[in-house]
């Protein structure tokens, strides 16, 4: 029996790509192993959004190449493959294949022809979605990509280079995948895209996909990620008022609270126009919670610029956010901007912002105590003695019951909270 090992780094889109690669290998009779030493094919599914992410891939390769079975095939797929291309073979001579995020469906070529190095980092568009076997959604949450790539050129971001220009999948293909997921056990649908609310196919927009998903009885919860602020159009905002299955939670990254930094990042909104969208969302759905990505230490960011980021975090009261130190990336404009911020300053700012966001999160979590929320079961916690649920705001809620007997969806009364999670019990 042939075995494969796959390790996925990075974003939800990579997780999806990893699942598709696994499904493709399963269909060819491979079984998965979680020990690379035991595998006949080893795949690192990679992320290049920050330099550290790329470094991690090469340090993992350094270890794997020494300990793998001598004839095991070794390769990288995803964004690092696209970033470094054929130079990867020079850095790691044992590599057999290097496949970009839109060409991993070419993987079988290496199985048929293991003696020839396989390099393909083309931006093949939607081809990969057509050529791969459909997956069954065994877990309760199905991640369904609806578009890929990004037309916004944020000056720090390598994604438009690694994933290419935006392309939206045909409306009917997404509906078919959503129906298939619901039929095979998914109760939550998460539409995915680098610029998910930029979805456009003929006259269809994201709001149409949400409506189509909501019409499927088994689908109980719908969300989407990641959204670009200026593409949060009124028709989409309206969905938060009219579609109760749409969760009251939205990731809408602001990145920075400084108008000057936003300008240099090429993010085309003002704080006023961003807040106008937030206010419209809150008018549509009073309890909506917003999450953001933040970058600290962007080139030229002053203490005053950074103080404005803290101000906007307090003002919006973001929850479940992601914070990053700016990392210069190849193929991006910001990497060659003057006034790069020293590492120790970035570190201090990150620490300060994290502390602030954590306090905001704690306050929000505490405000949930006493409320009863409809939550989705995620499975057992690490001890196996408790079950983890997700609230409609994507907080973790721990319930004192073993996962085997836990209902998939349950009304849970929140009894306690800290900055990291909630505790609750089944409501009577
Ligand atoms: N809209 C995209 C975002 C991709 S990158 C998506 O959802 O796929 C995710 C986050 O990483 C960005 O929102 C940004 O905050 C951060 N990021 C991107 N490039 C970065 C860089 N060069 N340095 C630090 N953080 C970065
Ligand atoms: Fe990157 Fe900006 Fe697009 S963060 S993915 S270029 S919206």
pLDDT tens-place string over residues 47-61: 999 999 999 999 999
The answer, yes or no, to whether any atom of ligand 1 lies below 6 A from the CB of 295, is yes
For a mutational test of ligand 1's pocket, the pick from 15, 46, 148, 156, i.e. the residue with the most ligand atoms closer than 8 A to its C-beta, is: 156
Residue 172: CB atoms within 10 Å: 11
Ligand nearest to the CA of 14: 1
The answer, yes or no, to whether any atom of ligand 2 lies below 6 A from the CB of 157, is yes
Ligand nearest to the CA of 225: 1
SS3 138: coil
pLDDT tens-place string over residues 63-97: 999 999 999 999 999 999 999 999 999 999 999 99
Kindly state the helix (H) or strand (E) to which residue 86 belongs, with its residue range: none
Give the pTM. 0.95
* Residue that finishes a domain, picked among 93, 124, 155: 124
Tell whether the model's pLDDT for residue 413 goes beyond 70.
yes
366-387 CB burial, b ≥16 within 10 A, e <16: eebeeeebebbbbebeeeeebb
Give the pLDDT of residue 125.
Answer: 79
Judge whether 284 lies within some domain.
no
Q: What is the 3-state secondary structure (H, E, C) of 192-211?
A: ECCCHHHCEECCEEHHHHHH
The answer, yes or no, to whether any atom of ligand 1 lies below 6 A from the CB of 326, is yes
Give the pairing type, strands 322-325 and 387-390: unpaired
Euclidean distance between CA atoms 305 and 341, whole angstroms? 12
Give the pLDDT of residue 129.
Answer: 85
* Residue that finishes a domain, picked among 124, 139, 171: 124
When pLDDT is cut at 50, 70 and 90, the band that residue 387 belongs to is very high
The answer, yes or no, to whether any atom of ligand 2 lies below 6 A from the CB of 150, is yes
For a mutational test of ligand 1's pocket, the pick from 160, 228, 295, 333, i.e. the residue with the most ligand atoms closer than 8 A to its C-beta, is: 295
**Ligand 1 nearest-atom number relative to CA 328:** 22
**Ligand 2 nearest-atom number relative to CA 157:** 1
The answer, yes or no, to whether any atom of ligand 1 lies below 6 A from the CB of 329, is yes
Euclidean distance between CA atoms 387 and 410, whole angstroms? 12
The answer, yes or no, to whether any atom of ligand 1 lies below 6 A from the CB of 49, is yes
| Stretch among 18-32, 97-111, 116-130, 412-426 having the lowest mean pLDDT | 116-130
Tell whether the model's pLDDT for residue 428 goes beyond 90.
no
Judge whether 418 lies within some domain.
yes
Give the pLDDT of residue 128.
Answer: 85
Q: What is the 3-state secondary structure (H, E, C) of 332-362?
A: CCHHHCCCCCCHHHHHHHHHHHHHHHHHHHH
Q: Mean pLDDT score of the chain, rounded to an integer?
A: 96
Give the pLDDT of residue 138.
Answer: 64
Q: Could you tell me the two tokens for 44?
A: 């690192």
The answer, yes or no, to whether any atom of ligand 1 lies below 6 A from the CB of 194, is yes
Give the pLDDT of residue 403.
Answer: 78
Q: What percent of the chain has a predicted confidence (pLDDT) above 70?
A: 99
Tell whether the model's pLDDT for residue 136 goes beyond 80.
no
DSSP assignment letter at 173: H
Give the pLDDT of residue 299.
Answer: 98
Give the pLDDT of residue 137.
Answer: 62
Mean pLDDT, residues 17-45: 96
Q: Are 309 and 257 in contact (CB under 8 A)?
A: yes
Q: Which of 229, 221, 160 is nearest to 186 (CA)?
A: 221
pLDDT tens-place string over residues 320-373: 999 999 999 999 999 999 999 999 999 999 999 999 999 999 999 999 999 999
27 burial (CB, 10 Å; 0-12 / 13-18 / 19+) is: exposed
Mean pLDDT, residues 167-184: 96
Euclidean distance between CA atoms 423 and 397, whole angstroms? 5
Judge whether 31 lies within some domain.
yes
CA of 47 to the centre of ligand 2 (A): 14
| CATH code of the domain covering residue 44 | 3.40.50.12160
Judge whether 61 lies within some domain.
yes
CA of 145 to the centre of ligand 1 (A): 18
The answer, yes or no, to whether any atom of ligand 1 lies below 6 A from the CB of 297, is no
| CATH code of the domain covering residue 389 | 2.40.50.140
DSSP assignment letter at 317: T
Residue 39: CB atoms within 10 Å: 24
Atom 2, ligand 2: which residue's CA is nearest?
154
Atom 13, ligand 1: which residue's CA is nearest?
293
pLDDT tens-place string over residues 209-241: 999 999 999 999 999 999 999 999 999 999 999
Number of domains in the chain: 2
* Residue that finishes a domain, picked among 75, 101, 124: 124
Atom 2, ligand 1: which residue's CA is nearest?
194
Q: Which of 299, 289, 290, 358 is nearest to 323 (CA)?
A: 358
When pLDDT is cut at 50, 70 and 90, the band that residue 185 belongs to is very high
Domain that holds residue 77: 3-124
pLDDT tens-place string over residues 264-294: 999 999 999 999 999 999 999 999 999 999 9
Judge whether 105 lies within some domain.
yes
């Amino acid at each position: 029996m042939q075995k494969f090992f796959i390790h996925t780094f990075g974003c939800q889109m990579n997780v999806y790509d990893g699942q598709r690669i696994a499904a493709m290998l399963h269909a060819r009779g491979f079984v998965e192993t979680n020990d690379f030493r035991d595998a006949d094919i080893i795949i690192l599914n990679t992320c290049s959004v920050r330099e550290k992410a790329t470094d991690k891939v090469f340090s993992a390769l350094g270890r794997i190449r020494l300990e793998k079975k001598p004839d095991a095939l070794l390769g990288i797929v995803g964004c690092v493959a696209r970033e470094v291309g054929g130079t990867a073979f020079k850095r790691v001579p044992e590599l057999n294949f290097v496949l970009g995020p839109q060409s991993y469906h070419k993987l079988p070529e290496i199985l048929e022809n293991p003696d020839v190095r396989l390099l393909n980092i083309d931006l093949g568009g939607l081809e990969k979605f057509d050529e791969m076997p459909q997956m069954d959604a065994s877990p309760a949450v199905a991640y369904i990509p609806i578009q890929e790539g990004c037309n916004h050129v944020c000056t720090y971001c390598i994604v438009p280079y690694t994933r290419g220009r935006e392309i939206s999948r045909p409306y009917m293909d997404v509906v078919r995948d959503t129906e298939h997921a619901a039929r095979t056990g998914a109760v939550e649908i998460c539409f995915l895209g680098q610029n998910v609310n930029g979805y456009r196919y003929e006259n269809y927009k994201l709001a149409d996909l949400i409506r189509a998903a909501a019409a499927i009885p088994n689908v109980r919860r719908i969300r989407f990620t990641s959204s670009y602020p200026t593409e949060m159009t009124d028709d989409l905002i309206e969905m938060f008022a009219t579609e109760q299955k749409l969760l009251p939670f939205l990731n809408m990254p602001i990145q920075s609270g400084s108008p000057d930094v936003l300008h240099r990042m090429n993010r085309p909104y003002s704080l006023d126009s961003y807040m106008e969208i937030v206010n419209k969302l809150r008018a549509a759905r009073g309890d909506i919670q917003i999450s953001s990505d933040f970058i600290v230490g962007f080139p030229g960011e002053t203490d005053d610029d950074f103080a404005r980021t803290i101000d906007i975090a307090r003002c919006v009261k973001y929850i479940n956010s992601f914070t990053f130190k700016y990392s210069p990336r190849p193929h991006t404009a910001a990497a060659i901007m003057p006034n790069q911020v020293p590492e120790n300053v970035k570190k201090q700012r990150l620490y300060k912002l994290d502390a602030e966001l954590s306090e905001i999160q704690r306050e929000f979590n505490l405000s949930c105590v006493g409320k009863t929320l409809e939550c989705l079961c995620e499975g057992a916690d690490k001890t196996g003695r408790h079950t983890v649920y997700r609230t409609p705001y994507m907080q973790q809620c721990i319930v004192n019951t073993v996962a085997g007997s836990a209902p998939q969806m349950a009304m849970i009364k929140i009894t306690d909270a800290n900055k990291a999670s909630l505790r609750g019990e089944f409501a009577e």
